[in-house]
Structure 1
Amino acid sequence: MKLNKSFRSIWLSSATSELGGAFFTFCNSILIYKYTGSATALGLVWLIYYIPSFFMQLFIGPYIDRWSRKYTMIWCQLVRAILAMVLAITLFSEWFSVSLIYMVQVLVGLIMPIFTPANQSILPTIVEKEHLEKANASLESVRQVMAVMGPISAGVLVEYIEVNWLLIIISIAFLLSTYNLAQINERHIKREVRKPWIEEFKEGLNSYFEHPLIVWLGVFFGFVQFGVGVTIVTTLPYITTVLEQPTVAYGFFMAGFPVGYTIGALLSSKLKRLNGIGVLFSALFIGGCTYLSLAFTPWYSLALVTEAIAGIVIAVFNIYNITLIQKRIPNQLMGKVTSVRLLIMRLMLPLGILFATISVQFIAIRSLYLIIGAIICVTSLTGYTFLKNREEIK
């Protein structure tokens, strides 16, 4: 695939944005756990992120198709850069408090439902349809490479520099992402006739539900996100307490999934076509089995391998899912339909966080992984059985 200038720009923007985002997530988790020592507090900070994120996702879809996606993304990145800088300044000046992390999480939770659908919707305006699958695989690869580098680099850096300096680096990364976004040549068609919000929202829902495979894959994607929500709360105490590893090991474990995801994205780019739905639901089933493995493994090294395998199979599922939407949905409806898909994620993921935040107080972390693994395995088998004979998805 020959890359045009705009695709190179969004590729570079994704690289710096994902690196900054991975650093930001790491810093916020470390700060909360350092100042509170509580897995419940760690869950609360992510609930505070995802609850406003859910309501923004519900509201914003129709507007993504009205606005220039390029400038929407630029403004979002600028706000993220400012937030990281403000947090760094409070740490330098000793004005920092845990409540400030909660405030930052609320604001970022309002920003990302705007940024993410704009980011996914802009690709068909700069890449030809026949190149979308390879373009998605390339973008997912660089995002996951940066997601690998983020936790590992952050885990090493916090051993040598203060978190406030790491936040300065994060702010610079978001500014570099903004610069690259400014280089994109977007084919944006300004719409002169604008419908009321509720009509456009219904239009997006109708377009989404016209495609049964996309609908059902969205449902099963939601169950995966529920499991992700649980791990947001449990991963740090799982590594440092259950497996009795140092903080730097948490960074390497967090990198395991993106390493696998990168491999999975590269494999997907080499596949000309995924034949049938068996591959997709096999990927989901294997993903569920990785939770079961984490529930029983006594070895940190096996946990790392397990996390990498989870990344590989979920990459296959996600890339095919996103490409299906981009190929089947008209571009003028892309923002609305993408928002519906993300709405499922932003509903199920905080439910997973809430479930873990409450249950971690009286259910062992290994038992939680056993429950989540069983749910995903059963869901994937049910989905395959239900959909395999439907003519419209062959």
Structure 2
Amino acid sequence: MQLLKNGQFMRLWGNQILLQTSFNMSNFTILLLIDQITSSRFAIAQFYAVMTLPSFLVGLFAGAIVDTSNRKWIILTSDALLALLFAAYAVFTHNYWFLLAIAFLSSCVSQVFTPAESATLPTIVKKQDLERANALFLFTGFGSVLLGYGLAGPVIQFFGGLEKYGDQSTFIIAAILTAIGFVLSSTLTLSNNGHRGFDPQLFSHAKKLTREVLDITRTNTKIFIPIVMLTLMQFCIGLMAILFIDFVKTYLRLPSTSTSYFLIIPLGFGLGIGVYLLNKLKERASKGYMIYLGSLAFGLAMLFIGLAGGYVTKLTGGMLLLRAITATGAVVAGISAVFIAVHSRTILQKNTPEKMLGRVFALVYASGSVVTPIPILLIALITEKVDVTIVFIVFGLIFALLAQAVKPIFLKNLS
């Protein structure tokens, strides 16, 4: 593959793998700690809200930073700060409010790093390789959930569990991996577009820069629709992160640490299959149809997981069958995520002026924070009273019906 011979791409990709793996190791460990400290799904939802709130507060402003500053400087600064914050987690492992405070700060840093990374990709990759590069970034982005969650469970257990040094060990490893990413990023040779570092006039220009990106988003459907779909994917991932922990404990009758083995690994297989199918189908189906297909399949996967949880366990041997159905649903969800996110990101990158790439991708994450935290908190509260399978069923049915309803829009505007 010609793309893998691109040294610039490989450095940026390597940093993404290390940083995202560290982030997910830390986040999964924090979820387990909060579950141990509070035994409350609402407390877990609060953690998720804290992680998404910075996107709403500083998201568009972060995009302006990316578009008016040296992107290599941004990436290096982000790596350094995140390494320090991951190490700080190890000091406050059993203090709920300190965990939330550090999570908030780490999320603020990531709001700048993520659009910088997305905006840099089309500047170092040829146009004909952009879809494949996005597929690899998405695969490792979601795959880092598999790797981070998969590593966190065994590391915690190896070092004595949450009661001893297991949690601190994952945070220290995360800090070391991020520091390695910093070294890797320092070898990038990116054009600074006339920017040596932070633009001192950014604050006075922020309003104009924000208005520009909102105007182009409103008037260009090939920017607006992909942003909507990527926002929905953020919502879905947040919802699944909350529901799956409870589902594993209640219906699969496993400890929460087993989420790594029974849900995350199948999701990783689905991502791999999705990337393979993407290359096979890109000449046979339009991007709009693939986004529709992924949306419909995702909704149906969530629907069947909910139905299986409610009825399969009543059958003889139902527990093994439920675990198989859950794993299959996670595989389908992984395939769907590739279809939706890769095509949406590629359409955005090809239709956005280079000088606005940072702000457009910052808008993606800011949009997610607008529509995600309150519904997620409400759903978490509902699941304190309503069975988690009902939430899966209702959510899956609504998502599938919406996908079918907007199919003509996808085919008309994204083909």
Question: Is the TM-score greater than 0.5?
Answer: yes
Match of 2:228 among 206, 213, 219: 219
Deviation (angstroms), 1:186: 0.8
Structure-2 residue corresponding to 1:183: 187
Q: Deviations over 1:68-116 (max 9, x none)?
A: 222212211211111111121344xxxx411111111111221121111
Name the counterpart of 2:207: 198
C-alpha distance in 1, partners of 2:92/2:385? 35
Q: TM-score, normalised by structure 1?
A: 0.92
Which has the higher mean CA deviation after the structures are superposed, 225-234 or 71-80? 225-234
In 2, the alpha carbon distance for the partners of 1:276 and 1:175 equals 37
Superposed CA offset, 1:309-328 (max 9, x none): 10111111111111111111
Equivalent position SS for 1:245: coil
2:9 is matched with: 7
Q: Do residues 251 (structure 1) and 235 (structure 2) align? A: no
Indicate the SS of the match to 2:68. Answer: coil
1:305 Cα deviation after fit: 1.5
Match status 1:312 vs 2:335: yes
Q: Supply the AA of the counterpart residue of 2:245.
A: L
User: 366-375 or 54-63, which moves further after superposition?
Assistant: 54-63
Once the two structures are superposed, what CA deviation does each residue of 1:191-243 show, in whole Å capped at 9, x if it has no partner?
69977211111111222233213312332443343332222222211101232
SS at structure 1 position matched to 2:193: coil
- What do you get for the CA RMSD once the two structures are aligned? 2.1
- Rounded to whole Å, the distance in 1 between the matches of 2:130 and 2:171 is 34
CA contact (8 A) 1:288 1:373 kept: yes
Shift of 1:373: 0.8
Structure 1 residue aligned with 2:272: 262
State the partner residue of 1:377: 400
Distance 2:143 2:302 in 1: 23
The one of 117, 141, 144 aligned to 1:143: 141
Matches of residues 45-194 of structure 1 in structure 2 within 5 Å? 45-91=47-93, 96-161=94-159, 162-190=166-194
For 2:133 and 2:240, locate their aligned partners in 1 and report how far apart those are by CA, in whole Å: 29
Q: State the 1:57 CA deviation.
A: 0.8
Identity of aligned residues (%): 20
Change (3 A) 1:347 1:262: farther
Task: Decide which of 33, 43, 46 is 1:44's aligned counterpart.
Answer: 46
Per-residue CA distance 1:96-146 (angstroms, 9 max, x = gap):
411111111111221121111111001112112222112112222333333
User: Any conservation in 2 of the 1:141–1:266 contact (CA below 8 Å)?
Assistant: no
CA contact (8 A) 2:222 2:351 kept: no
Q: CA deviation at 1:360?
A: 1.5
Counterpart of 2:253, as a letter, is E
Question: Residues 370 and 19 of structure 1: is their aligned pair in 2 closer, same or farther, counting only changes over 3 Å?
Answer: same
Tell me the distance in 1 between the aligned counterparts of 2:192 and 2:126: 15
Q: Classify the secondary structure of the residue corresponding to 2:157.
A: coil
| 2:112 counterpart letter in structure 1 | I
Structure 2, gaps ≥5 residues long: 160-165, 310-321
Q: Partners of 1:99 and 1:177 in 2: how far apart?
A: 28
5+ residue gaps, structure 1 = none
8 A contact 1:65–1:333 mirrored in 2 = yes
3-state secondary structure, aligned to 2:274: helix
Question: 1:314-361 CA distances to partner (integer Å, 9 max, x unpaired)?
Answer: 111111111111111121111111122222222223234222222122
Counterpart amino acid of residue 305 in structure 2: L
Q: Within the alignment, does 1:292 sit opposite 2:303 as a pair?
A: yes
Alpha-carbon distance in structure 1 between the residues aligned to 2:334 and 2:105: 28
For the 8 Å contact 2:92–2:99, the answer to whether it is kept is no
**Contact map agreement 2:233 2:341 (CA 8 A) in 1:** no
**After TM superposition, where is structure 1 displaced by more than 6 Å over at least 4 residues in a row?**
192-195
Counterpart AA for 1:130:
Q
Shift of 1:41: 0.9
How far is the alpha carbon of 1:272 from its aligned partner?
4.2
Kept in 2: contact 1:148–1:258 (CA 8 A): yes
Structure 2 counterpart of 1:254, one-letter code: I
Alignment of 1:282-361 (within 5 A): 282-298=293-309, 299-361=322-384
**Inter-CA distance 271–387: structure 2 relative to 1 (3 Å threshold):** closer
CA-to-aligned-CA distance 1:27-61 (integer Å, 9 cap, x gap): 11011111111111111111122123321113322
CA drift at 1:187: 1.9
Amino acid at match of 1:319: V
User: Offset of 1:287 from its aligned partner?
Assistant: 0.4
The question of whether the paired residues in 1 share the 8 Å contact of 2:222 and 2:348 is answered with no
